[in-house]
Structure 1
């Protein structure tokens, strides 16, 4: 590292795409005083200090929709480097799970008003743009995308 250069740091988001047998994935309608209130996104959130990405995805899924995913049923599927309109960058680590224990339900009503099973190949128009980008690239089989960066990125 060159003297005077600041090391890049980023918030890390973790997301879990819970897949039903019919191929639909679970999305949550965000509600209340949260980012993107009224829009849809998968269960997820930011990684906590000292937490591995798999642990964060398992924790967020349990906290938000009340299901338990065995670590062996969690599979990495996508990495997205996102930059929001304000210029804040985030790395999103996305996992998929086809098996879990429990029935998904709203566990944080102050942050979520509805659960929606959606076709990931045709996400609802009211998805968080970050989520729509993840679903588009995931369905294309791409393990990496960039969203919100100047032209020339991957996605």
Structure 2
């Protein structure tokens, strides 16, 4: 993710060809790791040298781990780096794709973007805006963790039951970057907010449900990691004892159906950690973990 430090982001218009990742849309420069790459940063530097050999970045640092779906349908963790550059993209000797252009956050909704890219850029812009800068030159929080600390992604999940004890799950859009065609909790990632506020916001934004903070309780925590290179995650599962509204499809690009399921008779196509969390809740367990034996 290349930015100029003043709110502009350099995006790459990819070729309109079948069989490639995100054809015909604006995306980030990058590519896949090969056996010859000693580390992910080496992968990125090799890809940049192949795609934009005359572009020289400063301040290259890991920023986030995102999830994407490859051309063969596999869920793939993607390490996103950020770096700074302030040049003219028309002077770059572009070896792959159609063109490079600078864009600001306010025009992202008018562009065809690779899945999840708009949210990623907005998050980066919020992290680096003057309003979010720490006072008196203090470093940002992500650089203040003690040495050896692994920063985690925190997600909130809604465990909602109807009068028959059935659990609400949403069917993810088949083109979703994560868990396409699978049933999943109503869920979201914590931004610069505490977890219950995030849950209340996501419930209203995704399904039109109104939840009062005082009617929420934590019923499960799942600690998971998808792969050795993926950032670990902490999933907080909250039960809402009461709510108002009827589940509605408000984000059709992410969820195509809401349905109530018997927690002891879930469909086969359930996100694995969602299934494990529900089984833990039914069994009265407050904690479970997944993926750590594959590290």
TM exceeds 0.5?
A: yes
CA-atom RMSD, angstroms?
A: 1.6
**Is 1:21 matched with 2:163?**
yes
Structure 2: where are the runs of 5+ without partners? 1-145
- Residue 243 of structure 2 corresponds to 100
Alpha-carbon distance in 1 for matches of 2:291, 2:219: 20
Which has the larger displacement, 119-128 or 73-82? 119-128
Which has the larger displacement, 134-143 or 115-124? 115-124
Structure 1: where are the runs of 5+ without partners? none
TM-score, normalised to structure 2's length? 0.48
- Residue 71 of structure 1 corresponds to 213
Alpha-carbon distance in 2 for matches of 1:120, 1:58: 23
The residue correspondences of 1:54-69 to structure 2 (distance < 5 A) are 54-69=196-211
Higher helix share: 2
Distance of aligned partners of 1:53 and 1:13 in 2 relative to their CA distance in 1, 3 Å threshold: same
Alpha-carbon distance in 2 for matches of 1:87, 1:65: 32
Contact 1:28/1:40, CA 8 A, preserved across alignment: yes
Alpha-carbon distance in 2 for matches of 1:116, 1:145: 25
Alpha-carbon distance in 2 for matches of 1:30, 1:132: 15
Contact 1:123/1:135, CA 8 A, preserved across alignment: no
- Residue 53 of structure 1 corresponds to 195
Which has the larger displacement, 78-87 or 118-127? 78-87
- Residue 152 of structure 2 corresponds to 10
- 1:87 Cα deviation after fit: 4.5
- 1:106 Cα deviation after fit: 0.8
**Is 1:37 matched with 2:170?**
no
Contact 1:30/1:36, CA 8 A, preserved across alignment: yes
Contact 1:81/1:147, CA 8 A, preserved across alignment: yes
- Residue 120 of structure 1 corresponds to 263
Contact 1:21/1:98, CA 8 A, preserved across alignment: no
Structure with greater Cα Rg: 2
- Residue 144 of structure 1 corresponds to 287
